[in-house]
Amino acid sequence: MTNQPAQEQPSPDSDQAADTSVALRHRPSVFSKLVDQSLLTVCRFSACVVLLMLGALLFVLVKSSWPAIQQFGGSFIIGTTWRPNPLEQPARDAAGKIIFEDGEMVTKTVPPEFGALPVVYGTLLSSAIALVFAVPLSLGCALFLVRIAPWWIEKPVSFLVEFLAAIPSIAFGLWGLFILAPFLQEYAEPWAKTLLGGLGVFNWMFTDSANRPISLTGRDMLCGGLILGIMIVPIITAISRDVLRAVPRHQIEGSLALGATWWQSCVEMLKYAKAGLFGAVMLGFARAAGETMAVTMVIGNNNQISPSPFAPAQTMASLLANEFAEAADPLHQSALKLVALVLLVMSLFLNIIARYLVVGGASGKSRE
Amino acid sequence: MSDTPPFSTSKLWQAKIVSSVAFSLCVACSAFIIFLLALITGYLGYIGFSSLSLDFFTKDPTGDVFNPGGMRHAILGTLVLLSMASLVAIPTGMAVGVYLSEYAERSWLASVTRFVCDVLAGVPSIVVGVLGYELLVVPMGNFSAFAGSLALAFIMVPIVARTTEEMLRLVPNSYREASIALGATKAVTIFKVVIPAATGPVITGIMLALARVAGETAPLLFTALGARLLSFNNFFSDPQPFPSLTAQIYKYATGPYAAEKQLAWAGILVLIGLIFVINVLIRLVVARSKR
């Protein structure tokens, strides 16, 4: 369709037209042309508003995190300490001994430090746990929906999976906080500890950097990852279902005709759709990385890097949820906005790749 | 590979066993997902029902932590926030959808807009909250309903735009051609023919967007913040923190008091119930309009 549709108005002074049809005598008045033009303008303007929204998002975040960018630069991402409050520490001399003056300990104030590595690490690891949990489950379910279920099972199962996507984040958070975390604390984690703790290889899971045992609270990286995993199951399932459905029939029938078993033909299908499936996983990853409320409630909110899945952690989103409203120090505020910017850029990046893979891969073909 | 005969029976059996194991695993995956859903909604429903009462809908918070009253203020607050967000987001989103589907299917502006819509739909909602904070809370000097509804509108626009576009696309081209052949202008065609033909599905898209933002908490944390009172005093001149269901649930759920936690459970149940109803309605509308 072009911007100006061809409006071939029959000329009203043609005799036959004037006689036979009222509609044909109609010629757009100045008024209706004006309406036409202004509708186009309004629509075009709204489309520009959408572009402006993205622009505003990037501009505002860059502008307000500028002080932090100037102060830290690239070392922001690799800084391992996030400590928003100044710290009083006993001053030490060159030999590492605490200095005393007139019998009193000399203290020095360590300024706040803002390094984003703990939260970047927390985001990546919790999303990775979520993907490990969600991807096999979602692919299995997608194959079930496409290859196994008759329509009267497929429809309700699809609905239920999509309904799982519609449950608000805070509901998952509440469930995780009151059901999953206590379950992990009382059953799953002690069980894992008795099973694996005896083997020296898994010691890192149950002790912190100073080799003290980690207290199993249930509100930790594992719980956050699992909740995220449950939350991203629907999106990965729905997209991989659509991607698999777009695989041409002859691809499956061909392999079946060559004597492939059911599973071998499924493997052919998965291979054919691998770009789209990868896109689905990326979208799930992006969703997990940006998810806030549920994670904030169950991850334990501790800005420290620990390799153990049983240690409390923090993600970029949960750090924002916890500290943003209370941050008074301008540098702290600015650093938090820089974290938001890092999160935004990361999710934009993932989304763009995913969109390219999914649309370029298969779902473009499925749209008739 | 060359030394294995093409029809090795043991290989065949192996493949068949692998296949049936994989088959059952796929069924098991689906069953497990449904089981998880039942576990979560079942528990939320069970606890929520036992703490739900009429007071929940009719009473404001009392300030007494042992007898906290209800969440009337938060329900109304959410409704106000949603209406204010809709007022901005629905016309804008629909206009974008009309532009994408009716005016410029293949122009560069359309493809860029479509791309940006998809990307915006994936922006973490907490980042949108930060934007609302910077754009409205900082200049106005306080948290406000405006900042909250702006953040919600920001999330709604791309969803409304994309679903409107998809739904208008479903209207057969012959409708448009017939209308233009009768001498109708483009605007008349859009308003009197295309949009009426797709009203049901377009409303569905709007409901979908509403259901999505009704459950949002993260963008409201830094914009509307949440409050114990619903007050419209000096609504425009003196912005105040504004209550919402989700923010109130978050506050109660993470707080120390048992009676408030009960309210949080009831609130979650109301929210999920609302979203479930919207989802079922959407299914019915789409099923009817596709027929």
Q: Which has the higher per-residue pLDDT, B260 or A104?
A: B260
Cα A90–Cα A93–Cα A99 angle in degrees, nearest 5: 50
Point out the residue among B95, B211, B217 whose CB comes nearest to the CB of A170.
B217
CB–CB of A264 and B183 under 8 A?
Answer: no
A302 contact B CB<8A? no
Asked whether residue A70 is assigned to any structural domain, the reply reads no
Residues A235 and A312 occupy one common structural domain: yes
A37 & A182 share domain: no
Q: Which of residues 130-159 of A touch B (CB under 8 A)?
A: 136-141, 143-145, 147-149, 157, 159
pLDDT at A368 over 60: no
A104 and A135 belong to one structural domain:
no
- ipTM for the assembly: 0.88
Does residue A9 lie within any of the structural domains?
no
Closest alpha carbon within chain A to B173:
A1
Cβ contacts of B20 on chain A, cutoff 8 Å: 262
- Residue A308, both tokens: 């153990």
Q: How many domains does chain A have?
A: 3
Binning pLDDT at 50, 70 and 90, where does residue A28 land? Answer: low
Q: How far A77 CA sits from the closest chain B CA (Å)?
A: 18
pLDDT at A16: 45
Asked if residue A345 and residue A288 are part of one domain, the reply reads yes
Q: Tell me which chain B residue has its CA closest to the CA of residue A317.
A: B126
Residue A133 inside a domain? The answer is yes
Closest CB from A47, A264, A266 relative to B15: A264
Is A355 an interface residue toward B (CB < 8 Å)?
yes
Q: Are residues A173 and A98 in the same domain?
A: no
DSSP assignment letter at A103: T
A275 and A334 together in one domain: yes
Least confident range from A55-59, A207-211, B74-78: namely A207-211
Whether residue A356 contacts residue A277, with contact meaning beta carbons closer than 8 Å, is answered with no
- A109 and A215, same domain (yes or no): no
Interface A-B: count of C-beta contacts within 8 A: 275
Q: What is the C-alpha separation between A263 and A272, in angstroms, rounded?
A: 14
Q: Does residue A226 surpass a pLDDT of 90?
A: yes
Of A34-38, A59-63, B3-7, which range is least confident? B3-7
Answer yes or no: do A187 and A247 share one domain.
Answer: yes
pTM assigned to the model: 0.87
Query: ∠ CA B256-B261-B267 to the nearest 5 degrees?
Result: 145
Q: Does residue A325 form part of some domain?
A: yes
CATH number of the structural domain spanning residue A285:
1.10.3720.10
State the average pLDDT over residues A73-84: 85
pLDDT of B2 over the 70 cut: no
What is residue B48's predicted lDDT score, i.e. its pLDDT?
87
Within a domain: A47: yes
Assess whether A59 and A99 both reside in one domain.
no
Distance of CA B125 to the CA centre of its chain: 11
A295: in domain? yes
A162 vs B contacts (CB less than 8 Å): 279
Whether residues A218 and A356 share a domain: the answer is yes
Domain that holds residue A107: 84-113
Q: Give the pLDDT score at A4.
A: 45
Q: In chain A, what is the greatest distance between 2 CA atoms, to the nearest angstrom?
A: 115
Q: What is the mean pLDDT of residues A273-281?
A: 92
**Do the chains contact at A5 and B44, CB–CB below 8 Å?**
no
Residue type, A344: L
The distance of A268 to chain B (nearest Cα, Å) reads: 13
Q: Which of A44, A57, A179 is the closest to B99 by Cβ?
A: A44
Same domain, A165 and A45: no
pLDDT of residue A13: 46
pLDDT number for residue A339: 94
- Which residue among B33, B265, B271 places its CB closest to the CB of A141? B33
**Which pLDDT score is estimated for B6?**
57
Distance from CA of A261 to the nearest CA of B (A): 6
Instruction: Provide mean pLDDT across the span A125-154.
Output: 94
Q: Give the confidence band of A342 by pLDDT, cuts at 50, 70, 90.
A: very high
The per-residue pLDDT for B7 is: 60
Q: B interface mutation test: which of A64, A133, A170, A262 has the most B CBs within 10 A?
A: A170
For an interface test with B, the pick among A4, A20, A41, A46 (most B C-beta atoms closer than 10 Å) comes out as A46
Assigned architecture for domain B54-290: Orthogonal Bundle (1.10)
d(CA A23, CA B133): 54
Which residues 8-27 in chain A show a CB within 8 A of chain B? 9, 23-24, 26-27
Query: What is the predicted pLDDT for the residue at A303?
Result: 87
A351 CA to centre of own chain = 9
**What per-residue string of b and e applies to A315-338 under the rule 16 or more CB within 10 Å gives b?**
bbbbbbbbbbeebeeebbbbbbbb
A198 and A307 share one domain:
yes
The predicted-structure confidence for B177-226, as pLDDT tens digits, reads as follows 999 898 888 888 999 999 988 888 888 788 888 888 988 899 998 888 88
Place of tokens 């763009």: A352
Q: Are the CB atoms for B45 and B259 separated by under 8 Å?
A: no
